[in-house]
Structure 1
């Protein structure tokens, strides 16, 4: 069984993330969405809400692709998380050249830690390349319309945070 791991903070999950999840699910038999617990980043949504959003969004994707998709919180090294879930592939989404430079360094470090785990890069679809969770949160916080960047349930969660 090919198991892939797509890690991130997903604070919140965006249409860009969903695009990568959909495409990654076609490459593996099981896709684990690694939800990073990064206390230093100070996420807008607590871990439980981020996991619930991911599970809600991935339920239909799992049916659509025929691939099991599960959310898995983690706080250890990414390469250790990959081993914990049995992943032989780490999936990373790329938006721009700046992403590649950072990801290139991460691949090198992960390969040094465990060369049996490969990293696969998927380019975000052109219409999703500008989407970043950080920008979505900022636009929503300032009262802008983020409906082009997130699904309706995520939009409702953002509205609840900033309008409630």
Structure 2
């Protein structure tokens, strides 16, 4: 039986923290499905297509290195529905701090009530990636700061390209 886990998030953008959690998950599971959330009420910085493309560039090699089948998909409903669609019995969640823990425990409880057959696995982030959030990365990038320590190189390049295109469009 293939052990499949779903790792869902906005991945806007994918950060070194996301990559860190995936590396750990790849040791535990035969397949990890990265599910990019595309909620209609949110306005992401990067399109779903860009986020999927970046995940393929950055995360597929990790799967190959760890012997784990890493797949990437999108979803716009409940995480448990995305997990069922992917035949995943586990949800992967990353923890940076106590605030994350409290939030993820609430989500795990609600998901367990809705889908008792799907289990949440929380993976603590490494010390180096604990302060990294996609929100802070977006803010730093938008203000012209150097994000290279917080995201993989292809992500930094894509954000620079995106922001240079956005600023040119605004100044016209």
TM-score by length of 2: 0.93
1:115-151 per-position Cα deviation (integer Å, ceiling 9, x unaligned): 1111000000001001000100100100111000011
State the distance in 2 between where 1:93 and 1:37 align.
19
Distance in 2, Cα, partners of 1:66 & 1:111: 29
Paired position in structure 2 for 1:158: 159
Aligned to 1:51: 52
SS of the counterpart of 2:6?
strand
Could you tell me which residue of structure 2 aligns to residue 70 of structure 1?
Answer: 71
TM superposition shift of 1:59: 2.1
1:15 is aligned to 16
Measure, in 2, the Cα distance between the counterparts of 1:41 and 1:16. Answer: 21
Cα deviation for residue 86 of structure 1 reads 0.5
SS in structure 2 of the partner of residue 149 of structure 1? coil
Cross-structure match for 1:95: 96
**TM-aligned CA deviation for residue 90 of structure 1:** 0.4
Structure 2 CA distance, aligned partners of 1:62 and 1:122?
17
User: How far 1:163 moved relative to its partner?
Assistant: 2.5
- Normalised by the length of structure 1, the TM-score is 0.98
Q: CA offsets per residue over residues 92-131 of structure 1, 9 Å max, x none?
A: 0001111111111111110111111110000000010010
Task: Give the unaligned 5+ runs of structure 2.
Answer: 166-172
Contact 2:39–2:77 (8 Å) recurs in 1: no
Q: How many pairs does the alignment contain? A: 164
Residues 57-116 of structure 1 show CA distances to partners (whole Å, capped at 9, x for unaligned) of: 112101110110011100111111111110011000001111111111111110111111
> What RMSD over aligned residues (CA atoms) do the two structures have, in Å?
0.8
Q: Show CA shifts across 1:13-72 (max 9, x none).
A: 000000001110110010000111122221000100100000111121011101100111
Correspondence 1:27-46 to 2 at 5 A: 27-46=28-47
Highest Rg: 1 or 2? 2
Match of 1:112 in 2: 113
- Give, in whole Å, the separation in 2 of the partners of 1:150 and 1:105: 28
